[in-house]
Amino acid sequence: MTERPRQFILAREGWVHVAVAVAVAAIVQWLAGWLWALPLWLLCLFVVQFFRDPPRRIPQAARAVICPADGRVIAVDEVRDPYLDRTARRVSIFMNVFNVHANRIPVSGAIEGRWYHPGSFVNAALDKASRDNERNALLIRTDEGSEVVVVQVAGLIARRILCYVQEGVRVQRGERYGFIRFGSRVDVYLPAACEVRVALGDRVAGGRDILGFLPQ
């Protein structure tokens, strides 16, 4: 099993990027002065905000499905689940470059499937991104028997999906399990009888807000 990263305010996926940005800005300031270095320091601020990873208070409501990512809800519909071949409620969340990009487990249970699909890198806000883009999907079965599929989808400039859990392990709701660099989307396929609590256009926070409730 791949080791999962510890929780830090700055995601460890960004440590190297932040270090390089700071080093380049500092060298330019030393050699050429602060005016030349100012754009690079602004770039440092952007890199730091992109890789921020604040702790979240996880909701403890029974049967709750929590948001796996920060962003804007761009789809709430009934579709055919491409992974389990069933009718499902789909909730899609688009992450722009200013959102937190750490991904969190929506429900507690066991990972019973993992699928990786190479693909293209069209704008993640487009619906065809769910079927055409590079993506990584997890099937989580809860102790009550509900099946939830959560899919990391690469975006227009995203070039790496990171997932730290493997098939066969148990996961906890709200647990940090992955990261996508830079700008992306997460799709959640829920049982058709699931009660969805978010609407198109809502702004949501991963690990904090509730997407809906699983059927009893």
Q: Catalytic residues, which ones?
A: 184
Q: What is the DSSP letter of 12?
A: G
Q: Whose CA is closest to 188, among 27, 32, 30, 68?
A: 68
CB contact at 8 A, 100 and 206: yes
Question: Rounded CA gap, 154 and 89, in Å?
Answer: 21
Q: Write phi, then psi, for 115 (nearest 5 degrees).
A: -130, 130
| 193: three-class secondary structure by DSSP | coil
- The string of DSSP codes covering 102-115 is EEE-SS-EEEEEEE
Euclidean distance between the first and the last CA atom of the chain, given in angstroms as a whole number:
32
CB contact at 8 A, 91 and 75: yes
User: How is residue 129 written in tokens?
Assistant: 């991104």
Beta strands in 69-108 (DSSP E): 71-81, 86-95, 102-104
Question: Rounded CA gap, 150 and 189, in Å?
Answer: 6
